[in-house]
Each structure stands twice: as C-alpha cells, then as structure tokens.
Structure 1
C-alpha cells in the first residue's frame, strides 16, 4: 500500500539532522564485482541532502520491492507515491506526482514599480520593452544569487505573467517509470512542466536534455554500462544552479545471480543386503573298506 508524503518547509540544517530512515538502505560497499541489482526512487546531493528513498536491492536474485516512501522534511522535493523493485538482472521504479521547488516563485516580492509597469503594458510593442534587473530573494534551495534576468522568460510580458501568476513549482511531473532488464532499459514520463511551461520529453533518446537555464538543467534517460557488467538507467538528473543535484528514478541491473550447484543425490538404501560369503572347510574323505579273513574255530 502506498502512503502519501506531504513534506513541510524546513531549513537545510534541519534536513541534515534527520536521524531515522527505517526503510532506507545504502548501497553495499566493497568489490564492484559484487554489485547487486537495485533501484531507488529519489535522492539529492548538496545543501539539501536526501538519501536514496525508497531503496530496494536483490543480493541473491530474489525479487525485492518497497513502496513505503518517506522523505525527510525538506523545502526541495515532494512525491505522492513511489515503488522500487529489484530482482535477478532486473529492476524498475515507479513515481507519481513529483514536485521540485514547491511555491518557489510565490516567495518573490514584486516591487511596486514593476507591478505598475506590468499593469500598464501597451497593447503593441510590449515585447520589446527591456527586462528589469531585480534581485531575487534566497529561495532556500541552495541556488546562487539570481535576478529577474536569470528567469527563463523572453520579454517583459512573460516576466509579468510569471511573477504575477506564479506556477506552483519550479518543476512538476505527473509520473515517471524507469526499468532495466539485462543490458536494456528505458523510461516513460508523463506531463513535465518547468516554471509553468509544459515540455515534451524525448524519452527514447539517451542523454537528452531540456532547455537549460540558470534555475535548472535537466538530463533525461541517462544509460550507463559499468565495468562489472551491470547496467543503469536513470530517469531524470536535475542540476539546480550548480549547487544541488536531484536524481529521480534509477534502476541498476547486475549480472544474473549464479545458480547454486545441485547437491549430489544420496545413494538409495539397500532393502535386502547380500550376506557375506563364508568359506566352509573341505568335506572329509569317505573311508575305504579293507577286506580281511577271520580264523575259523570249532
């Protein structure tokens, strides 16, 4: 049963102080040749770290699945539900309702002069008006200092629309599925919106990238063959301002687990054992009668 997740906004320090993740496991260390098949739904590295959650791995080739998704409270990422599965040379991930940077632009306070300028846009020629260079506040995502000129807009009307009616998230995705089997794999992604603009994602192209901007650089369907024979498919990798890296849906297929050698069958018990041979002594020779004459008396 999938459990919904609703994170609240905390500082990065609070996120780093989270201690207990009962359903999160770390990938095993040691010899790379022992890499198991594994899968995880989300992870993040940077000022807001999130461990691989949920994480599933198969050490013996048996199918392992976990769908209890619990992220630490954070201002960066929320997901409604997720499932990670790993088996013998196979792995998969399912994710639903992914939100990166919830309400990020609603925190921007628009200066009165910009509001006035947006309200008085001319009917003709508004697209040729210069963009104002206004500093954006710290949005709590570890991003570098940004201004209005760093936003992915083409002109002043686009900027007014983005700030006056901000989208609910920096990035939102309806669903994301990733799978691998042996040395093959792929992804399937639903509707993806970046700052309110919907993009068609080329899921069949390995290493495809969405249009880059100072807020986010997104790579899709990264496929990696490892030196130990394993194969990894990663759905999305999101770089936020060079300060935060988010990985969504990663599946790794290791070499098939070796089959155990069959034990030799035990010898069947003998029902009627043959008694051992006994060496009998040779039979005594038959005596030969001897003829004699008895004397006659009388």
Structure 2
C-alpha cells in the first residue's frame, strides 16, 4: 500500500522573513544495524540426528534493544519432556536463558507394546528387591542372573522400536554391570515410568560480552542428586551408557559472538538436548534516523525588493 504524505504550501515553499530567506536541507532514512546480534533460546532437541525441537523459545536482538519471550509447560513440545518454565532475554552485549522444573525422559518407553512393558516392570521389580541389601559395586553373584534377564527384555525393546523415530537399540547394548546399585535401581524406575532420566530444578545461562556463567540447582539423574561443578567450562558427569551431562559449555564463535550452554545432555548415545543457551554479540547503527539528525543551520541570503 502506498502512503500519501500531504505537505501544506507556505509562500511557494519558500518562507520570507524580514527580507531574508531561510533554507533547510534535511537528510533522512531509517536506521540500519551492522554486526552480530545477541540471542538466547531455552531448548534444542535432536533424536538420531533429526531435529525434534528447534531452539524454543528463542529471541534475537537485531537492533540491540531488549527482547524477551517465555514458554510455560513443555509437554506439548515432545513426549520426552515434561513440565518446565522457560524464559529467555537478549539485548546488545547481554543475553540469558532460564529453565526451571524440567523433566527429561518421561515418554521414553511410551511407544512400547503393553506385554513388553509388563515384562520390564516385573524384572525391574525383582532386581530392585534384590538390590536392597547390596552395596557398591553390584554383587554379580546375587544380581548377575537378574541382569541377564533384564538384558533380554532390553533386547526385546530394541527389536520393538526398530524403525521407529526413537530407536532404543542402545538399551540392549548397555553394560549393566558398570552401573552402581543405586544407578541400576534408578534406571529400573525410569524404565517402569516411575521417574525421569534427568530432573532439572533450575538451569540458567548468562553472558555479557565475551564472558559467561552457568547456574544449576536441584539436578538429578535416574533419581540421584548430581553435583556438577560449574565454575569451570565443560564439566562432565556420566552414567555409563545412559546419560552424559555437560555443564557450562562455553564457545567463542567464528563470527565474534560468545555462547554459553548451561546444560548439554546426551541420552543413550542418540538423544541430544541443550537446556538454556545465551549468545552475546554487538550491533551498531550505521545510519542516523531523521529524529537523530542535527538541527538544520539556516542559510541567509538577501532578496532584492523591486517596485
């Protein structure tokens, strides 16, 4: 749509005041931004190298002013996620992402046939009961035969999910003997749907310029507390074959921006989840807007009077 601008004529567009004419030349144009903007997002999920959640919610401060967004309850995004409140914010040289109350792994086995779920529940209950009097590491003489039985059920799960979007074949390849009794107990609770692979109470990524920090509180894996240091970049905690947790990932990007990923989870070797990411950049305006242009300087000239 074309916008028509109406200009009122004033003495033929030339204003004469006491024999002097004032002429103002005005430059105009909208401001444009140059540089790399700051940005932030809450969640990014890939399953078997396929994008399941593409940086939601996300904000980009293209002109340097503050922009915010939020997401309440992640249940609708993907069956693997539950709960959660996500808040993201970015402005020139500053960004943050805050995720609270997020559960990961709820829908891991939602696609299994009922008879497989029943087998899994039964063998896990037997293992959990047997683990009661044991201490670390797992007593293979007592639990060994039960682990063989559990491995059989996990291989059945592998076959049942073959060709599905989430192929759980790695469950069948787990070396359960590498798990502590508490970890095995927690894994069984996850497989039976009684707990989540990871619970994240509070996860915050923040950056200012080329520095950043991560805050993590109330983090659990397989129902067990996880104390992961965040004072140094790229701290890792692993439960063999089940989950690898990397905290406070810090990346100096090739374009000059700086990124902090508060948490990066890898589940079963094929599920990647980034929780809370902030990227800091700077933009500048390379052209002034009309409102910012300097006041015009009158140019005085004498106009001859005849008659």
Both proteins in one fold, TM over 0.5: yes
Residue ranges of structure 2 left out of the alignment (5+ in a row): 1-33, 111-116
Is residue 2:258 matched to residue 1:228? no
User: Aligned pair in 2 of structure 1 residues 79, 57: CA closer, same or farther (>3 Å)?
Assistant: farther
Matched residue, 2:119: 109
- Whole-angstrom CA distance in 2 between matches of 1:149 and 1:39: 38
Deviation at 1:163, TM superposition (A): 2.9
- Whole-angstrom CA distance in 2 between matches of 1:266 and 1:154: 78
Matched residue, 1:44: 45
Aligned-CA RMSD value: 3.5
Matched residue, 2:139: 127
- Whole-angstrom CA distance in 2 between matches of 1:264 and 1:121: 79
SS in 1 for 2:139: helix
SS in 1 for 2:171: coil
Matched residue, 2:293: 263
Is residue 2:188 matched to residue 1:163? yes
Within 5 Å, which residues of 2 pair with 1:50-61?
A: 50-61=53-64
- Whole-angstrom CA distance in 2 between matches of 1:124 and 1:181: 49
Deviation at 1:259, TM superposition (A): 6.5
Is residue 2:270 matched to residue 1:243? yes
Q: Does the Cα contact within 8 Å between 1:103 and 1:170 map onto a contact in 2? A: no
Within 5 Å, which residues of 2 pair with 1:186-225?
A: 186-225=213-252
User: Aligned pair in 2 of structure 1 residues 76, 141: CA closer, same or farther (>3 Å)?
Assistant: farther
Is residue 2:110 matched to residue 1:98? no
User: Aligned pair in 2 of structure 1 residues 253, 160: CA closer, same or farther (>3 Å)?
Assistant: closer
User: Aligned pair in 2 of structure 1 residues 118, 58: CA closer, same or farther (>3 Å)?
Assistant: closer
Deviation at 1:234, TM superposition (A): 0.5
- Over residues 96-126 of structure 1, what are the superposed CA-to-partner deviations in whole Å (9 max), with x where a residue is unaligned? 1111101658957347677557656795788
- Whole-angstrom CA distance in 2 between matches of 1:45 and 1:164: 24
**Higher share in strand:** 2
Is residue 2:171 matched to residue 1:146? yes
- Whole-angstrom CA distance in 1 between matches of 2:41 and 2:130: 50
Matched residue, 2:80: 76
Q: Does the Cα contact within 8 Å between 2:79 and 2:108 map onto a contact in 1? A: no
Deviation at 1:265, TM superposition (A): 2.3
**Which TM-score applies when normalising by structure 1?**
0.68
Deviation at 1:93, TM superposition (A): 0.6
Deviation at 1:196, TM superposition (A): 0.9
Deviation at 1:68, TM superposition (A): 3.4
Residues paired across the two proteins, number:
243
Point out the more displaced range, 235-244 or 190-199. 235-244
Q: Does the Cα contact within 8 Å between 1:104 and 1:168 map onto a contact in 2? A: no
Deviation at 1:51, TM superposition (A): 1.5
- Whole-angstrom CA distance in 2 between matches of 1:109 and 1:232: 45
Residue ranges of structure 1 left out of the alignment (5+ in a row): 1-32, 279-298
Q: Does the Cα contact within 8 Å between 2:186 and 2:222 map onto a contact in 1? A: no
Q: Does the Cα contact within 8 Å between 2:80 and 2:108 map onto a contact in 1? A: no
Point out the more displaced range, 238-247 or 199-208. 238-247
